[in-house]
Chains A and B, each alone.
Chain A
Amino acid sequence: EAGVAQSPRYKIIEKRQSVAFWCNPISGHATLYWYQQILGQGPKLLIQFQNNGVVDDSQLPKDRFSAERLKGVDSTLKIQPAKLEDSAVYLCASSLGERGTGELFFGEGSRLTVL
């Protein structure tokens, strides 16, 4: 079974530039999450999708971050404009949701460096 796919693995940009990350969850997983993990810290949830609808985005900095999940499958996370403090690993995870056991399946992450 294919895992959660993310791209790009690494991205270096200058502040005020924009960047987009892509995630393809495990087939059949209804729930998709984006986490931000700053070096030395645990993952912080940014946004949760159930199918193609946003369930919770209370911790998403909406002035610069946006995310969408078209057709309830792939998802993209965009940052525009980027700030130095956005340097982090952006992790995508998916789960079966109510039909599952609560297990989250994570991708390898996209490491963003903002100069």
Chain B
Amino acid sequence: LAKTTQPISMDSYEGQEVNITCSHNNIATNDYITWYQQFPSQGPRFIIQGYKTKVTNEVASLFIPADRKSSTLSLPRVSLSDTAVYYCLVGPNRLRAGNMLTFGGGTRLMVKP
């Protein structure tokens, strides 16, 4: 499975847009990019998934360039409640037996008032 690299931590202020970039140089043709959010004392929660170009949902946007070697999670107008750890994962979207999703260290986002 493709290895991912993310910044260890980021700081932002309420109301700002936050962009977290993930590098995945060895992404395979059938791999998707998925982002999870984890609050303290909770399990990770799915945010968004994409394969190429741009995906948007009610929470975030995901930008994926043509070469797919990186991706950017964009959180518009963050609030204090967006303070969490964000994980970028790369793998097939049809989890057949044996497909493992590996979490890296994630990016710790701190939103300040």
Chain B residues with CB under 8 Å of A95's CB are 95
* Pairwise interchain contact B103-A50, C-beta atoms closer than 8 A: no
Task: State the CA gap A109–B67 with chains docked (Å).
Answer: 37
Which bracket fits the contact residues of B?
20 to 34
Knowing A102-B32, A106-B43, A106-B45, say if A44 contacts B98 (CB, 8 Å).
no
Task: State the CA gap A91–B94 with chains docked (Å).
Answer: 21
Most buried by B among A42, A101, A107: A42
Which bracket fits the contact residues of A?
20 to 34
Other A-B pairs beyond A4-B43, A42-B106, A102-B91, 7, CB < 8 Å? A42-B104, A45-B101, A91-B44, A97-B97, A101-B93, A106-B44, A109-B41
Listed A/B pairs (18) with beta-carbon separation below 8 Å: A35-B103, A42-B103, A43-B103, A45-B100, A48-B98, A48-B100, A55-B98, A93-B43, A97-B96, A101-B49, A101-B93, A102-B34, A102-B92, A102-B95, A104-B101, A106-B42, A106-B43, A109-B41
